[in-house]
């Protein structure tokens, strides 16, 4: 009778399973507790005839070991399953996964680069921490020029070999033009996008850092007419085919003659409105023919080559395209502001 019970319990134990710790504990109590079925068989074993005790005792021990191993196996499986359920996959994307958007400055920067690349301009880059020569002296800035004042430029005094040199945060990307002219002879046709720094109070209309794109073209027989034509092409591509431009005389140390360029107001079409101060025109960039002194300072023969240069602020163009009233919005990373440009790219 007891042998039949042992064989029946063996069959049950082999098929045991549990999906959680509560069910596992119920199985342990049923078979291995002080009042469990296997313990009851050991109590019954006491009444077995002496000649059967060896055989039945061996089978009872095998049954108990089988139950103990099976319970342990199920316990390990339940614990592993619980860990998998509670495990946090930090590489898994959050839900819902919202699509990001490119920054408006990046959008406009790419648009400008694409326009000039279609007429042969290539990208050039340079360091943001520069020396006085590449930012000022090589660009024909006089020693007492106001731009060298601490009120306009971030200067870093660096002592090397007992000689103090002026190291600055570049105030324009024209320094990249100088570096290009120093290592390469014409023809040169480049645009230089990058971040620049000026020591100004941070307001809705100004910031201590912003972004520029400057262009340079040097070759034989380059004229002001070439400059005007490429700028007209740029304005029409960026603001629309009906855009008009005008050039007003101006002054920059590194160009002669120099000019400021206006485009017809994109809001009123040149009729006059509050945005263009009822003039019909909006200023967007400065330009001019490269001063011969700048060419000579970089080792280019000004009697053989001529060229033009232009520069514009990316924030300025972005404001014109998207009517952003506060420049600080571009650097504060407000998600609500950035979400407004989801369809801008």
**What is the Cα gyration radius of the chain?**
40
CA 10/CA 86 separation, integer angstroms: 34
Give the confidence band of 162 by pLDDT, cuts at 50, 70, 90: very low
Give the confidence band of 46 by pLDDT, cuts at 50, 70, 90: confident
* Top-confidence range, 188-192, 268-272, 327-331: 188-192
CA 100 and chain centroid, separation: 11
- Give yes or no for residue 56 having a pLDDT over 50: yes
Q: What is the CATH number of domain 104-126+175-341?
A: 3.30.930.10
Per-residue b or e along 328-338, where b marks 16 or more CB atoms closer than 10 Å to that residue's CB: ebbeeeeeeeb
> What integer pLDDT is reported at residue 38 of this predicted model?
76
How large is the average pLDDT for residues 4-13? 75
How large is the average pLDDT for residues 225-237? 96
How large is the average pLDDT for residues 81-102? 73
- Tell me the HSE value of 45 on the side-chain side, using a 13 A CA sphere: 20
211-223 confidence digits (pLDDT tens): 999 999 999 999 9
Residue 60 has a CB neighbour count (10 Å cut-off) of 22
If we measure between CA atoms, which residue out of 179, 161, 160 comes closest to residue 170? 179
**Segments making up each domain of the chain, as ranges:** 2-86, 104-126+175-341
Beta-bridge partner residues of 312: 213, 285
Q: Which residue has the tokens 């103090």?
A: 164
240-273 confidence digits (pLDDT tens): 999 999 999 999 999 999 999 999 987 777 787 7
Contact present, 295 and 273 (Cβ < 8 Å) = no
Beta-bridge partner residues of 287: 259, 310
> What integer pLDDT is reported at residue 245 of this predicted model?
94
> What integer pLDDT is reported at residue 97 of this predicted model?
67
Handedness of CA 223, 228, 229, 231 (dihedral sign): positive
Q: At 37, give phi and psi (nearest 5°).
A: -70, -35
Angle at 315 between CA 310 and CA 318, to 5 degrees: 100
> What integer pLDDT is reported at residue 2 of this predicted model?
74
> What integer pLDDT is reported at residue 165 of this predicted model?
59
Both tokens of residue 226? Answer: 């070439």
- Tell me the HSE value of 68 on the side-chain side, using a 13 A CA sphere: 7
């Amino acid at each position: 009778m007891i042998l039949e019970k042992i064989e029946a319990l063996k069959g049950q134990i082999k098929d045991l399973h549990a999906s959680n710790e509560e069910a596992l504990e119920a199985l342990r109590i049923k078979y291995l507790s002080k009042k469990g079925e296997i313990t009851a068989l050991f109590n019954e074993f006491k009444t077995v005839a002496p000649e059967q005790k060896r055989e039945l005792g061996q089978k009872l021990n095998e049954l108990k070991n089988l139950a103990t191993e099976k319970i342990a196996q199920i316990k390990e499986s339940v614990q592993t399953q619980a860990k998998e359920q509670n495990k946090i996959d930090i590489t898994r994307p959050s839900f819902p996964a919202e699509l990001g958007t490119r920054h408006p400055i990046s959008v406009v920067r790419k648009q400008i680069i694409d326009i000039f690349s279609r007429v042969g301009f290539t990208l050039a880059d340079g360091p943001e921490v520069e020396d006085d020569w590449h930012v000022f002296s090589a660009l024909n800035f006089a020693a007492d020029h106001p731009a060298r004042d601490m009120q306009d430029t971030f200067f870093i005094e660096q002592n090397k070999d007992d000689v103090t040199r002026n190291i600055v945060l570049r105030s324009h990307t024209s320094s990249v033009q100088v570096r290009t002219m120093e290592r390469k002879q014409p023809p040169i046709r480049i645009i230089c996008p990058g971040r620049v720094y000026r020591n100004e109070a941070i307001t809705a209309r100004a910031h201590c850092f912003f972004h520029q794109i400057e262009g340079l073209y040097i070759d034989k027989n380059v004229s002001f007419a070439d400059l005007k034509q490429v700028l007209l092409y740029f304005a029409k591509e960026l603001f629309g085919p009906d855009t008009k431009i005008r050039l007003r005389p101006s002054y920059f140390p590194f160009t002669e003659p120099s000019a400021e360029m206006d485009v017809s107001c994109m809001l009123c079409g040149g009729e006059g409105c509050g945005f263009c101060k009822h003039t019909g025109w909006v200023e967007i960039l400065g330009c001019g023919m490269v001063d011969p002194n700048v060419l000579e300072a970089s080792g280019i023969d000004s009697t053989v080559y001529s060229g033009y240069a232009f520069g514009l602020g990316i924030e300025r163009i972005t404001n014109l395209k998207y009517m952003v009233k506060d420049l600080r919005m571009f650097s504060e990373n407000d998600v609500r502001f950035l979400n407004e440009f989801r369809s801008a790219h």
